[in-house]
Amino acid sequence: MKEAGKTVLVTGGSRGIGAAVSIGAAKAGWRVAVNYVSDTAAADAVVAEIEKAGGEAFAVKGDVGSEADVLAMFAAVDDRWGRLDALVNNAGVVDKTARLDEMSADRFERMMRINVTGSLLCAREAVKRMSTRHGGRGGVIVNLSSAAAKLGSPAQYVDYAASKGAIDSLTKGLGIEVAAEGIRVNAVRPGIIDTEIHASGGEPDRVEKARGAVPMKREGTATEVADVILFLMSDQSSYVTASIVEATGGR
């Protein structure tokens, strides 16, 4: 329980990679705020699993793409624990496979609002609480990028890839901006990971189809990505900042 007493807000912490981070962080002693947007049962199940194992967690509903919701989420953590030590900017969405010339402006707006603006808003609120410049005790931010940021996802979802490219830039820029203020900012770029995100983008068989293109010839698990995130949250990575770590099986 090395991290006993520390608190983390995991956006989209109720399913997939976020759920694995929430459960793994609690095992390491973190108190976990599990954010979600619609699936209350999934969030409650993660909290119940953490509590059953003797950990501390609560579920906090909110859309990361809404400034009002983000302010309320962080206020809930303030009220509950009065401190914030880490943010995992994990909430993210894909959309249906399409060419760029088939995509609508509404689709672009939703993709950028959730994946980019959501991460910017949450990072801003975390910096206000953790930066020594604002009287905080320092902390860590881990952003979820994607292998799509470097591959570009042609004929699949270039808009998603572009949103994750923005996450890479955020990680580099903010990491340097707050490096002397006690905050480390890093990102993980997962490859093909077995979660429900593919079905939510209308491609439930995406993992099976993509497996062959992975040098390791298999998909990754949410836990394998969470383990990298937990390393970046921990003091074991105390000299790592403004960095992007790949968890892609070599892709």
Question: Active-site residues: which are they?
Answer: 160
Longest dimension (CA), the chain: 51
Q: Are 216 and 250 in contact (CB under 8 A)?
A: yes
Total residue length of the chain? 251
Q: What are phi and psi of 12, to 5 degrees?
A: 60, 40
Q: Are 139 and 182 in contact (CB under 8 A)?
A: yes
Which of 7, 22, 35, 186 contacts ligand NAP by CB under 6 A?
35
Which of 9, 21, 42, 47 contacts ligand NAP by CB under 6 A?
42
Which of 16, 24, 175, 249 contacts ligand NAP by CB under 6 A?
16
Q: Is 30 or 36 the residue whose CB approaches ligand NAP more closely?
A: 36
Q: Are 9 and 88 in contact (CB under 8 A)?
A: yes
Residue 116 interacts with ligand NAP (CB under 6 A)?
Answer: no
Q: Is 128 or 211 the residue whose CB approaches ligand NAP more closely?
A: 211
Residues binding ligand NAP: number (CB under 6 A): 30
Which of 60, 190, 229, 251 contacts ligand NAP by CB under 6 A?
190
Min CB(168)–ligand NAP separation in Å: 12
**132 contacts: CB under 8 Å, gap ≥ 6:** 138, 181, 182
CA dist 21 and 133 (Å) reads: 28
Q: Is 186 exposed, middle or buried (0-12, 13-18, 19+ CB in 10 A)?
A: buried
Min CB(85)–ligand NAP separation in Å: 20
Q: What are phi and psi of 216, to 5 degrees?
A: -80, -5
For helices 118-130 and 158-177, give the axis angle rounded to 10 degrees. 20
Binding mask 63-82 for ligand NAP (x = CB under 6 A): xxx-----------------
Which of 174, 187, 197, 228 contacts ligand NAP by CB under 6 A?
197
Q: Are 242 and 176 in contact (CB under 8 A)?
A: yes
Residue 156 interacts with ligand NAP (CB under 6 A)?
Answer: no
Q: Which stretch binds ligand NAP (CB under 6 A): 1-9, 25-33, 85-93, 95-103?
A: 85-93
Q: Is 35 or 237 the residue whose CB approaches ligand NAP more closely?
A: 35
Binding site for ligand NAP (CB under 6 A): 11-12, 14-18, 35-39, 42, 63-65, 90-93, 114, 144, 146, 190, 192-193, 195-197, 200
